């Protein structure tokens, strides 16, 4: 009995082991909970930023680009049709009325072909409220998406860079087409974060869209066509 009592006393006197409440688990949880915040901050970090206004240069660049891409060759056809209409009035009709009629229509068509971009620019300036009010446009490009703001308010954007359908540039501007049929014009000199050269590489990595060059004059257009023919003929020889 005495032995049993002594055993019970020893067992009761032995201290109980504390539960494992080490602070390592708490700190690791805090670190784990803190890492998503850092990754989200990196994803929302603006890598490229453009601030611009819809001035005369941007409007003219937009009109010229849409005419080239959506209505190519219209100016040349208008001038050709104008000549076809005007020539009979000059050489074939003897009646003064018909000569004036056909010559006048032909001259108007030629002038429309030559100056239709400037006519569209004049009409846009009269009717565009963003041009009249001097609205400021900000384009923010992050790692995965982009936000487009007008006077600080978001009006459009890119949920993913795969939504880019076309990417072009000339000497002064970048042109970006998107799936919602929206086109934004980016002046190369308007980058407040980053620059236009590295931005072209960034868009290519994200969307796999090459930034195609748009010639500003007929000499550059001829050079571009010659280069394209040389490339295509080289590919044919390789095959």
Q: Could you tell me where the DSSP H helices lie in the chain?
A: 2-13, 23-44, 56-70, 74-91, 96-127, 129-133, 196-207, 218-238
pLDDT score recorded for residue 224 = 57
pTM, entire model: 0.71
Identify the bridge partners of residue 140 per DSSP, sorted by sequence position: 49, 147
pLDDT score recorded for residue 13 = 44
Of the two residues 58 and 12, the one the predictor is more confident about is 58
Of the two residues 35 and 106, the one the predictor is more confident about is 106
Among 191, 147, 194, residue whose Cα is nearest residue 172:
191
The residues, ordered by sequence, that sit 6+ positions from 226 with a Cβ below 8 Å of its Cβ are none
**Mean pLDDT score of the chain:** 81
Q: Which residues of 45-72 are buried (b: 16+ CB within 10 A; e: fewer)?
A: ebebebebebeeebbbbbbbbebbeeee
Domain spans of the chain, in order of start: 48-213
Q: What is the mean pLDDT of residues 185-201?
A: 96
pLDDT score recorded for residue 12 = 44
Domain covering 48-213, topology: PH-domain like (2.30.29)
The residues, ordered by sequence, that sit 6+ positions from 129 with a Cβ below 8 Å of its Cβ are 135
| pLDDT tens-place string over residues 42-65 | 678 999 999 999 999 999 999 999
The residues, ordered by sequence, that sit 6+ positions from 43 with a Cβ below 8 Å of its Cβ are 142, 143, 144
pLDDT score recorded for residue 215 = 80
């Amino acid at each position: 009995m005495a032995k049993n009592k002594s055993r019970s006393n020893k067992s009761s006197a032995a201290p109980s082991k504390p539960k494992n409440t080490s602070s390592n688990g708490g700190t690791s949880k805090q670190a784990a909970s803190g890492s998503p915040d850092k990754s989200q901050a990196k994803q929302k970090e603006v890598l490229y930023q453009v601030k611009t206004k819809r001035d005369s240069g941007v409007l003219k660049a937009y009109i010229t680009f849409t005419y080239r891409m959506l209505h190519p060759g219209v100016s040349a056809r208008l001038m050709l049709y104008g000549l076809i209409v005007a020539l009979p009035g000059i050489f074939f009709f003897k009646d003064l009325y018909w000569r004036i009629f056909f010559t006048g229509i032909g001259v108007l068509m030629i002038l429309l072909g030559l100056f239709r971009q400037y006519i569209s620019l004049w009409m846009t300036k009269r009717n565009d409220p963003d041009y009249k009010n001097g609205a400021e446009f900000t384009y923010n490009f992050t790692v995965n998406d982009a936000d487009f703001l007008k006077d600080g308010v978001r009006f459009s954007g890119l949920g993913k860079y795969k939504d880019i359908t076309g990417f072009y540039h000339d000497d002064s501007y970048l042109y970006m087409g998107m799936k919602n049929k929206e086109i934004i014009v980016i002046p190369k000199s308007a980058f407040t974060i980053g620059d236009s050269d590295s931005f072209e590489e960034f868009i290519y990595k994200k969307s796999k869209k090459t930034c195609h060059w748009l010639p500003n004059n007929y000499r550059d257009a001829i050079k571009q066509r010659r280069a394209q023919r040389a490339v295509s003929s080289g590919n044919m020889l390789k095959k």
